[in-house]
């Protein structure tokens, strides 16, 4: 965990197991680390990434939850912790490299024990985007992450969650499911 904390605080990106696949992550406020992730993935910044956290308190500074209808707030909180990612109106703190070209930011409270511990250690959400170059399948092992991105890069070993598919994404303003 010390290597993870060092990477997080020194604007480096890292790979880690999530509920379904390995993710690439970093401090959401580090533009340096985020640009490195986008470079590794060949992903356009406009697409945005997910913020994953141990609890809603860590996400609260990044969203304007009170701009959501009460029903949406209730449904989001009822679905967490779990594999549900909610699009919520972003706050001023949320950088464009996280939200992409949207006024909404994708957020999730995880029940993955390792990811929870990581977020608790740095008391912050971390960026979560699947560990794969554009058009290739998301990595499901440390070996696959290294095969994609090389060795000069922190890969946090651990067990994937039980999820077989990426998290469901729901628009908090409309309750429309975008990725089932």
Q: How far is CA 178 from CA 67, 120, 166, 168, in A?
A: 20, 29, 12, 7
Predicted confidence band at 156 (pLDDT cuts at 50, 70, 90)? very high
In this structure, what CATH number is given to the domain that contains residue 161?
A: 3.90.870.10
Residues 41-83 pLDDT 10s: 999 999 999 999 999 999 999 999 999 999 999 999 999 999 9
Report the first-to-last Cα separation within the chain, whole angstroms. 32
Cα 75 from Cα 86, distance rounded (Å): 10
For residue 85, what are the β-bridge partners? 169
**How many Å apart are CA 96 and CA 36, to the nearest integer?**
15
* 160: containing domain: 2-179
What's the pLDDT tens digit per position in 7-52?
999 999 999 999 999 999 999 999 999 999 999 999 999 999 999 9
Contact (Cβ atoms closer than 8 angstroms) between residue 140 and residue 150: no
For the whole model, what pTM was predicted?
0.96
4, 156 Cβ separation under 8 angstroms = yes
- Domains of the chain: total: 1
Say which DSSP state 24 is in: E
């Amino acid at each position: 965990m010390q290597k993870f904390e060092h990477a997080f605080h020194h604007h480096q990106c890292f790979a880690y197991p999530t509920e379904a696949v390995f993710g690439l992550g970093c401090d959401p406020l580090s533009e340096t680390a985020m640009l490195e992730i986008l470079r590794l993935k060949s992903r356009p910044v406009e697409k945005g990434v997910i913020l994953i956290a141990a609890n809603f308190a860590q996400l609260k500074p990044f969203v304007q939850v009170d701009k959501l209808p009460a029903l949406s707030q209730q449904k989001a909180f009822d679905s967490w912790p779990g594999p549900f990612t909610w699009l919520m109106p972003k706050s001023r703190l949320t950088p464009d490299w996280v939200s992409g070209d949207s006024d909404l930011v994708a957020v999730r409270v995880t029940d993955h024990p390792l990811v929870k511990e990581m977020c608790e250690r740095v008391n912050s959400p971390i960026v979560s985007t699947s560990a794969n170059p554009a058009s290739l399948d998301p990595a499901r092992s440390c070996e696959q992450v290294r095969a994609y991105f090389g060795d000069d890069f922190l890969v946090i070993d651990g067990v994937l969650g039980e999820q077989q598919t990426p998290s469901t994404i729901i628009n908090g303003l409309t309750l429309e499911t975008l990725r089932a």
